[in-house]
Amino acid sequence: MIRPGVLVWIGAIVLMAITLFFITYEVQSVEKEVAALNREAIAQEEAIHVLRAEWSYLNRPERLSSLAERHLALQSVAPGQLIAAQHLDSLPVPKLAAQGDERLQDLLKRVVGETEP
């Protein structure tokens, strides 16, 4: 006859074996997931490396200069277009020619600070 204490121990051992089996299965599943994520991270790093190399190739100054000459109608800055920073506050507010733009003129004066609202 088997004692009840032995049955409890056998039951505990069987329960631990089943639990260990499920834990092992879960660990293997997580390890596969981590390996897949590591492979994906390496692939992303390689893609970033390729994109950075392509970016450097496309942003060469001589290439950008030739593209700007071909597609943009830019001119050099004339010396008369430059102004010292201390003279920026004293610039006049442009006068608007149209009659209906008086509200816009008032708004510009308020923004510049010539009149109170």
- Whole-angstrom Cα distance, residue 111 to residue 115? 9
In one-letter notation, the amino acid at residue 13 is I
Question: Which residues have a Cβ under 8 Å from the Cβ of 74 and sit 6 or more positions away?
Answer: 68
Alpha helices in 1-117 (DSSP H): 4-58, 61-71, 102-112
- pLDDT, position 36: 97
Q: Cα–Cα distance between 52 and 43 in angstroms, integer?
A: 14
Which residue type occupies 114?
E
Series of mean pLDDT values for 10-residue runs along the chain (117 residues): 86 96 96 97 97 95 90 84 77 60 71 60
Which is nearest to 95 in space by CA: 116, 109, 81? 109
pLDDT at 97: 56
Considering the entire predicted model, what is its pTM?
Answer: 0.47
Q: Which sequence spans correspond to the domains of the chain?
A: 1-74, 84-117
- CA torsion sign for 25, 27, 33, 38 is negative
* Token pair in block for residue 80: 């008369």
